[in-house]
Amino acid sequence: MAFLELRNVSKRYGNLNALNDVSLSIKKGSVVGLLGPNGSGKTTMIKLITGMLRHYKGTVFLEGLPWSYRSKALISYLPDVFIFDGQHSVKGLMRYYRDMYPDFNELTFLSLLERFKIDRRGQFKQLSKGNKEKLQLAFVLAREADLYIFDEPIGGVDPVVREIILDTIMEFKQTDATVILATHQIHDVEPLFDEVIFLKEGSIHTHEDTKTLLSRSNRSLVDCFKEAFRDVH
């Protein structure tokens, strides 16, 4: 049984078909690259999986059951924008997460703060952009979730922060958890993926085991990506 499944899912915004009859299944414990250029439908798909969008055609299943409010408890999500405002302290945000999420592990969070060299007594607004990114990552990874979703976690950060973020995502992944990482920056993340999904203009272009794809095509993942999207401008 698939851990995550989408059946004939479509989503429109006015005349724009953001997702077009998408069907896919992902097994538990996989690290999946959700790949495509801006506007390909990656964020829309993520919002459907996380329950942020509820009006669409088709069905999303988690652990064999249609998506419901209880599904939220299985998912830890890092969006592509900052979700905290400048009025919060790091300690205040930690208390919020501790109260909001029963699976929040405070010891894991504090160890991540130490690793990232972030002062728990500091204010969110005083952090650099890179440290804001790392703080949000710490909150996501401190939850003992079944599904971790990262939407462009390395966009707009310098190479040092990018490497820290990617290394930490993989090091702190639960061994039986599922990871979906959406990005259009392929080179840095190619070694991470058990399987890849190329999403093109709202439709599945490719969904394949990474090793099989690379062996069959005799190309790097970056070259496969370029070939799939060479006509997208």
Q: Which one has a higher pLDDT value, 107 or 161?
A: 107
Q: Which one has a higher pLDDT value, 139 or 81?
A: 139
Mean pLDDT of the chain: 90
Q: How far apart are CA 67 and CA 50, in angstroms?
A: 9
pLDDT at 176: 85
Q: What is the rounded average pLDDT of the residues 171-178?
A: 77
Q: Does residue 116 sit in helix, strand or coil?
A: helix
Q: What is the pLDDT of residues 46-98, one digit of tens each?
A: 999 999 998 999 999 999 999 998 898 999 999 888 777 777 899 999 999 99
Q: What is the rounded average pLDDT of the residues 3-13?
A: 96
Report the sign of the C-alpha dihedral through residues 208, 214, 215, 218, in that order: positive
Q: Which fold has domain 4-228?
A: Rossmann fold (3.40.50)
One DSSP character per residue, 200-220 reads ETTEEEEEEEHHHHHHHHTS-
Q: What is the rounded average pLDDT of the residues 219-232?
A: 89
One DSSP character per residue, 138-169 reads HHHHTB--SEEEEESTTTTS-HHHHHHHHHHH
Q: What is the rounded average pLDDT of the residues 163-170?
A: 81
pLDDT at 174: 65
Q: How far apart are CA 219 and CA 48, in angstroms?
A: 32
| Contact criterion met (CB below 8 Å) for 216 and 223 | no
pLDDT surpasses 80 at 175: no
| Contact criterion met (CB below 8 Å) for 36 and 226 | no
pLDDT surpasses 90 at 33: yes
| Contact criterion met (CB below 8 Å) for 203 and 22 | yes
Q: How far apart are CA 228 and CA 233, in angstroms?
A: 12
Spell out the residues 6+ positions from residue 36 whose beta carbon is closer than 8 angstroms to its own: 42, 184, 198, 199, 200, 205, 229
pLDDT at 233: 58
pLDDT at 164: 82
Residue 148 pLDDT grade (very low, low, confident, very high; cuts 50, 70, 90)? very high
Q: What is the rounded average pLDDT of the residues 102-120?
A: 94
What does residue 178 show for φ and ψ, rounded to 5 degrees?
-105, 140
Spell out the residues 6+ positions from residue 124 whose beta carbon is closer than 8 angstroms to its own: 84, 85, 86, 87, 88, 89, 90, 93, 132, 135
One DSSP character per residue, 59-109 reads EEEETTEE--GGGGGGEEEE-SS--S-TT-BHHHHHHHHHHH-TTB-HHHH
pLDDT at 76: 95
Q: What is the rounded average pLDDT of the residues 119-123?
A: 91
Q: How far apart are CA 153 and CA 155, in angstroms?
A: 6
pLDDT at 133: 87
pLDDT at 82: 78
Q: What is the rounded average pLDDT of the residues 40-49?
A: 94
Count Cβ atoms below 10 Å from residue 63 Cβ, excluding itself: 14
Q: How far apart are CA 136 and CA 128, in angstroms?
A: 12
| Contact criterion met (CB below 8 Å) for 109 and 97 | yes
